[in-house]
Amino acid sequence: MPDLRAADLHAPAVRAALEGLGLGRVEVLDEVGSTNQHLGDAVAARTPDGGPPWTDLSLVVTGHQSAGRGRLDRVWTTEPGTALTFSVLLRPADRHGRPVADRHLPWLTLLMAEAVVEALEDLAGAGARIKWPNDVLVDGRKIAGVLASLVPGPVPAIVLGTGINVAQEELPVATATSLRRATGRDLARPDVLVAVLGAFVPVYRQFCADPAAATGAGGPLRTRVAGRMETLGRPVRAELPGGHGPLTGTAVGLGEHGGLLLRDRGDAEHEVTAGDVVHLRHAPGRAPGPGPAGTV
């Protein structure tokens, strides 16, 4: 019996809409462990598999992801048929065909989060916001997460995976929400996919053309992402990787390479480039404590 978990994504009209966006190879899978793993393995194999080559902006999307991954060995959990889980392959190169320098690559996660926010706004007026470095929140709850993985090679490629909670009633953690839960609206997964990629592709092209100009001080993409960030202007606690103590302060901006600029109580500025951020409640005159959604 055919597996119908991805019947909506297999529809010819969806393929036509995706093709209209100028993507590379498009693969729709009924079910897979992890789209990031699948795409990364396929690209790293570098052996022809009979299909088209894995060019820039190739896509793997699945009806159900059974072993989804988060950062730092965490998991991404979804019910069959209710969530959007997909990965795009990126081979970012500037207008002269030169690979974009590694230092700019952290922006890609934020640019995908930005595309998700714009799509959810357009489709459902969801009022979504970005939480540094890789979450999208609605009403302070996580509706989407982005995971970037590097595919080693002569010119490294990036697999950018995105999970968006669309129709779940039950969520795997209390800090999560779905479009159905947050907006009461039942959106079709393919519409969300096409809207997100439709928002991402032009932003990605703008980034690649001149990453330093797009994301440097006053650059249009840095300004755009900063304007959508829930994190900025808030007291936060940054949990740093590698056993370094947490940093507490106010998030004051985005750095040149997508890091979070944090000003501590002594007015010293730090740039956090990796780790988790906890949004703290504004509490004038008191040490900041976690807010209602402070542990997202």
Contacting residue, 24, 70, 140, 291, with ligand BT5 by CB under 6 A: 70
Q: Nearest CA to 138 among 89, 183, 105? A: 183
Quote the least distance from Cβ 108 to ligand BT5, whole Å: 13
Binding residue for ligand BT5, selected from 161, 211, 219, 235, defined by CB under 6 A:
161
* Minimum distance of ligand BT5 from residue 274's CB (angstroms): 11
Tokens of 170: 């039950």
Question: Least Å distance between CB 162 and ligand BT5?
Answer: 6
Pairing label, strands 58-65, 26-32: parallel
Rounded to the nearest 10 degrees, what angle do helices 189-209 and 12-19 cross at?
10
Among 18, 27, 28, 87, binds ligand BT5 (CB under 6 A): 87
Task: Say which amino acid occupies 25.
Answer: R
For residue 246, the tally of other CB atoms under 10 A from its CB is 13
Rounded to a whole number of angstroms, the minimum distance from the CB of residue 126 to ligand BT5 is 15
Query: CB of residue 153 vs ligand BT5: minimum separation in angstroms?
Result: 20
69 binds ligand BT5 (CB under 6 A): yes
- The region of 102-110, 124-132, 161-169, 287-295 touching ligand BT5 under the rule CB under 6 A is 161-169
Q: Whole-number minimum distance, CB 139 to ligand BT5, in Å?
A: 13
Measured between alpha carbons, how far is 270 from 290 in angstroms, rounded to an integer? Answer: 21
DSSP letter for each residue of 55-101: -TTEEEEEEEESSEE-STT-EE---TTTEEEEEEEE--B-TTSPBPP
Beta strand pairing call for 269-272 and 276-279: unpaired
Q: Segment near ligand BT5 (CB under 6 A), from 48-56, 64-72, 91-99, 150-158?
A: 64-72
Candidates 100, 128, 176, 194; binder of ligand BT5 (CB under 6 A) is: 176
Terminal Cα-to-Cα distance of the chain (whole angstroms): 40
Q: How many residues form the binding site for ligand BT5 (CB under 6 A)?
A: 30
The three-state secondary structure class of 256 is: coil
Q: Pick out residues in 260-289 that bind ligand BT5 (CB under 6 A).
A: none
- The interface with ligand BT5 within residues 13-42 (CB under 6 A) comprises 34-36
Q: How far is the CB of 95 from ligand BT5 (least distance, A)?
A: 29
State which amino acid sits at residue 267.
D
Nearest CA to 89 among 41, 131, 122, 130? 41
Q: Is 82 in the site for ligand BT5 (CB under 6 A)?
A: no
Instruction: Tell me the one-letter amino acid at 231.
Output: T
Site for ligand BT5 in 88-147 (CB under 6 A): 134-135, 142, 145-147
Is 172 a residue that touches ligand BT5 (CB under 6 A)? yes
What is the nearest approach in angstroms of ligand BT5 to the Cβ of residue 35? 4
Strands (E), the chain: 26-32, 58-65, 68-69, 75-76, 83-90, 129-131, 135-138, 141-151, 157-165, 235-239, 247-254, 260-263, 269-272, 276-279
| Distance of alpha carbon 226 from alpha carbon 294, whole angstroms | 20
- Taking CB under 6 A as the binding criterion, the range among 13-21, 162-170, 206-214, 250-258 that sits at the site for ligand BT5 is 162-170
Q: Which residue is nearest to ligand BT5 (CB)?
A: 145
State the residues that interact with ligand BT5 by CB under 6 A. Answer: 34-36, 65, 68-72, 74, 76-78, 85-87, 134-135, 142, 145-147, 161-163, 165, 171-173, 176
